[in-house]
Chains A and B, each alone.
Chain A
Amino acid sequence: MVEKPLDIDQKLCKGCGICYTLCPKKAIKGDEKGKVVVDNPDLCSKCGICESHCPDYAIFVRREKK
């Protein structure tokens, strides 16, 4: 089973498109309303650029505890 790389809070997402435009791996995309959804979980490198540039705090990248 593939672990979910990202938590997305769709209630907070305003669909600005910053996250999936910035995503270097194209792991996420916009749905029909432009809101973020995970497209290819396997591609996600957990770089966090989506999380740190989400103006709406809708994304949380799951990282392993050190």
Chain B
Amino acid sequence: MRPELQKLFRMDKLPHIWCPGCGHGIITRAIAEAINESDLDLDKTVIVSGIGCSSRAPGYMHFDTLHTLHGRALAFATGVKLANPELNVFVLTGDGDATAIGGNHFIHAARRNIDLNIILFNNNIYGMTGGQYSPLTPTGKIASTSPYGNPENNFDIPALAIAAGASYVARGTAFHDKLLIDCIKEGIKNKGFSLIEAMSMCPTSYGRRNKMGNAADMLNDLKTTAVNINVAKKLPPEKLEGKFLIGKLHHKPYPEFTQEYDKLIAKLQKGAE
């Protein structure tokens, strides 16, 4: 690893626990690159996660790190950020963690527009427990609990986040790492709830069952299925069938929760003088 990036990692904890070819390592590096390029005070940066494969990432990152409970990362992070708004707070979460058991916290954190940077590692599966379908497993796909194909519909996470009130929403992939870094950096700049969906791949529990080839094949799938939103604008709808959009999908700043609360405190304390 590049020496300047090493200070953001707990190098003695590597190698990490992820399977060979897991996209999470690539995304974790992208997060570190984005933090590094954003000149954040590393002492004032906190990384929070829930439970699952993605949520193991903070353990390898050299910050104050909080590995919490399944689905609850955003609730813990809300406490950290509201209690000390000076801190830069990141939430690393997965598709199961954020959108199934943590779905309620997800929409409410977005609704508050609290200044958190959420990177949602989407590998379309519960990897840690051996490959059960998640709310982001596409319909029809095979998982250990959908042996005949997933009978359920999946969430469109950016649409959900936008509807719930997120002020910045973007999507990158493990292949499009430079774009992903740029999206995370923009999310950091945005004062409010920033959601970055990072498309990952799980060769072990998802790719294998769905005959998607090896890690490199899956990475190539991400490359060919993703369409940059700026390109997509010029394409006819039929060219976008079966594709997903990447890039900045939504950016609409509006008052942020902890800043508004601090204003309230200032007003009340001034009134008391």
A: which residues have CB within 8 A of B? Answer: 11-12, 14-18, 21-22, 51-57, 60
Contacts and interface: CB of A to CB of B under 8 A. Distances in A.
B81 interface: no
Given A17-B215, A22-B216, A53 B21 contact: no
B1 A14 contact: no
A16 B26 contact: no
A17 B21 contact: yes
Contact of B21 (A18, A51, A57, A60): A18
Given A16-B215, A53-B177, 7 more contacts: A11-B15, A16-B21, A17-B216, A55-B23, A56-B15, A56-B20, A60-B1
Nearest to A7: B1
B14 A12 contact: yes
A35 to B, nearest CB: 10
Contact of A52 (B23, B26, B215, B216): B26
A60 B203 CA distance: 24
Interface string B94-117: 000000000000000000000000
A53 B22 CA distance: 10
Interface in B7-58: 9, 14-16, 18-26, 29
B185 to A, nearest CB: 15
Given A12-B15, A52-B177, A57-B14, A18 B219 contact: yes
Which residue among B19, B177, B216 has the maximum number of chain A CB atoms within 10 Å of its CB? Answer: B216
Which residue among A16, A57, A60 has the maximum number of chain B CB atoms within 10 Å of its CB? Answer: A57
A14 B204 CA distance: 13
Contacts of A12: 14-15
A14 B219 contact: no
B183 to A, nearest CB: 15
A56 B25 CA distance: 6
Nearest to B21: A16
B214 interface: yes
A18 B16 contact: no
A56 to B, nearest CB: 6
B175 interface: yes
20 contacts: A12-B14, A12-B15, A14-B19, A15-B20, A16-B21, A16-B216, A17-B216, A18-B215, A18-B216, A18-B219, A52-B177, A52-B178, A53-B26, A55-B21, A55-B24, A55-B26, A55-B215, A56-B20, A57-B14, A57-B25
B239 interface: no
B92 to A, nearest CB: 15
A12 B133 CA distance: 30
A14 B216 contact: no
Contacts of B169: none
B1 A22 contact: no
B13 to A, nearest CB: 11
B2 interface: yes
A54 B25 CA distance: 7
Contacts of B21: 14, 16-18, 55
B29 A16 contact: no
B219 A22 contact: yes
A22 B175 CA distance: 10
Contacts of A11: 15
